Amino acid sequence: MIQVPENLLTLVPFNIEAKENIKGSNGLIKARLLNNRRHVAVLDQSGSIYVLDIVSCKVVQKLPQHLNNPHSAHIGDDFEALTNSLQTEETLPVWCTVQTKAGRLFVTLQESNFTACAVFGDDLKEYYPEMNSDQINDTKRYFLGKIILQSLLQPFIKAELSPDRIKFHKSAVTLMKMTSASSNASSGGRFSKEKLTSFASINDSYGERKDTDNSNNNDSSSKDKENSGGKTKRKLCWIRI
């Protein structure tokens, strides 16, 4: 077999031009959680860098710097060098992880550390003035992970506590009780095989004592032994549990 050097090979595409273009937004390819643990710096396919707030789910700012070749091998180092200027003096514990998949930002909460980061109420009012300040205590600590979970589950909790939903749950419980009562009544107290336990008792000594005490029992016992081939007969009884 003749092996051709790679420098002599030329790759020819199947189609010179694309048959159809699907327009869409630029996907995210890099993400970095900043020191304040509330902001995330992301890089999209066009080379633009944005700062997102993962608590309020809003775009905080867009950097004027632009990476010309976001798909280069050194894009990670360039992105980290640019985002170093975004770091603040506020350094909080890590309570989540961020990554990009399929052009989107994914924030992952883990049960072991989602309550690791907390801020005081006065700082929370400063960061998010749109929150209801009447329910926030300035000296109380608020966990960012719990705020995220409460925001995500609040519509579901409201729907479950609505009058129509409560009425539906009560009707379902009543129906289940009626169904259970009717099934018990129709069974008529009969034993089911699952609620029964079998116990086998060997009556060797019992049979021997009866042989010496009563001749009638001796005859019946000998007949049982003859019918069973000389083996001891078992008595099977069922008791309800």
Tens digit of pLDDT for each residue in 43-52?
998 889 999 9
Torsions phi, psi of 7, nearest 5?
-70, -15
Which alpha helices (H) appear in the chain, and where do they start and end?
75-83, 121-127, 144-160, 163-187, 204-213, 215-227
Residue for token pair 């005859």: 219
Whole-number pLDDT of residue 53: 94
Distance of CA 193 to the CA centre of its chain: 38
Q: Tell me which of 155, 187, 221 is where a domain ends.
A: 155
Whole-number pLDDT of residue 49: 92
* Band (213; pLDDT cuts 50, 70, 90): low
Whole-number pLDDT of residue 168: 74
> CA-CA distance, 129 to 94, in Å (whole number)?
23
> CA-CA distance, 28 to 41, in Å (whole number)?
10
- Asked whether residue 41 falls in the same domain as residue 133, the answer is yes
- Asked whether residue 147 falls in the same domain as residue 224, the answer is no
Q: Which two tokens stand for residue 211?
A: 């042989």
Global pTM? 0.58
- Asked whether residue 56 falls in the same domain as residue 146, the answer is yes
Residue 173, in any domain of the structure: no
Residue 23, in any domain of the structure: no
Read off the amino acid at residue 128.
Answer: Y
Residue 86, CA distances (Å) to 116, 118, 125, 224 in order: 22, 21, 22, 96
**Segment 168-173 mean pLDDT:** 75
Q: Which two tokens stand for residue 45?
A: 């396919």
Residue 210, in any domain of the structure: yes
- Asked whether residue 44 falls in the same domain as residue 126, the answer is yes
> CA-CA distance, 95 to 108, in Å (whole number)?
9
Residue 145, in any domain of the structure: yes
Residue 176, in any domain of the structure: no
- Asked whether residue 220 falls in the same domain as residue 106, the answer is no
Which alpha helices (H) appear in 22-130, and where do they start and end?
75-83, 121-127
Residue 181, in any domain of the structure: no
- Asked whether residue 227 falls in the same domain as residue 115, the answer is no
- Asked whether residue 101 falls in the same domain as residue 216, the answer is no
> CA-CA distance, 57 to 172, in Å (whole number)?
38
> CA-CA distance, 128 to 142, in Å (whole number)?
13
- Asked whether residue 137 falls in the same domain as residue 62, the answer is yes
Whole-number pLDDT of residue 23: 82
Residue 224, CA distances (Å) to 12, 38, 147, 217, 233 in order: 94, 86, 78, 10, 7
- Asked whether residue 143 falls in the same domain as residue 224, the answer is no
CB 30 within 8 A of CB 79: yes
Residues spanned by the domain of 234: 195-240
Residue for token pair 């960061």: 127
Residue 235, in any domain of the structure: yes
- Asked whether residue 39 falls in the same domain as residue 146, the answer is yes
> CA-CA distance, 225 to 104, in Å (whole number)?
82
How many folded domains does the chain comprise? Answer: 2
Q: Tell me which of 96, 124, 155 is where a domain ends.
A: 155
**Segment 139-154 mean pLDDT:** 89
> CA-CA distance, 115 to 112, in Å (whole number)?
8
Residue 18, in any domain of the structure: no
- Asked whether residue 90 falls in the same domain as residue 140, the answer is yes
- Asked whether residue 100 falls in the same domain as residue 34, the answer is yes
- State yes or no: pLDDT of 2 exceeds 90: no
